Amino acid sequence: MGAIRKAAASDAQGVLALIRASYAKYVPRIGREPAPMSDDYAAEIAGGRCWVMDGDKGLAGALVMRPKDGDWFVDTVGVAPGMQGKGIGKALMAFAEAEARRNGFRAVRLYTNARMTENMPFYQSLGYEITERRMEDGFDRVFFLKRLAK
């Protein structure tokens, strides 16, 4: 696994391609593209909110995070399909938590689509607790919170 670095403008197409590939398997389950598949990654990169992990054959993972409503919010996590199951998602989440602490936040929030069933035990294994489930923007979402040690 490569180091995690802030995404550069030149990474925008690669991030979009990675996210689209990593979320494509969910389209049949949800009945439409998950929200991250249509985000503006050039804008996320320009805003300093996107981070990437390089792999041997291009980007291995991508992460979008920001302050939101008093907590650190992980908006999008994606791992290239050929790299899934190798600890990249876990490394990206550990990085997000470290960034939250570095920026003075005591909690990390995120959500996943309820039909992305494998995500729920993954986040729970990292210490995230389900706080709510509700419809938002036409998606059935499950919300998570992890309080960070000081």
DSSP line for 71-109: EEEEEEEEE-GGGTTSSHHHHHHHHHHHHHHHTT-SEEE
Q: Which pLDDT tens digit goes with each residue over 39-83?
A: 999 999 999 999 999 998 889 999 999 999 999 999 999 999 999
The model's confidence at residue 1, banded by pLDDT at 50, 70 and 90, is low
Tokens describing residue 148: 């960070």
Q: Is the pLDDT of residue 102 over 80?
A: yes
Q: Other CB atoms closer than 10 Å to residue 138's CB: what's the count? A: 9
Residue 130 near residue 144, CB atoms below 8 Å: yes
pLDDT of residue 15: 97
Residue 54 near residue 2, CB atoms below 8 Å: yes
Q: Rounded to two decimals, what is the model's pTM? A: 0.94
CA distance 110 to 93: 11
The model's confidence at residue 109, banded by pLDDT at 50, 70 and 90, is very high
Q: Other CB atoms closer than 10 Å to residue 124's CB: what's the count? A: 13
DSSP-derived letter for residue 150 is -
H or E segment and range at residue 29: helix 27-30
For the chain, give the percent of residues with pLDDT over 90.
92
What structural domains and CATH numbers belong to the chain? 4-147 (3.40.630.30)
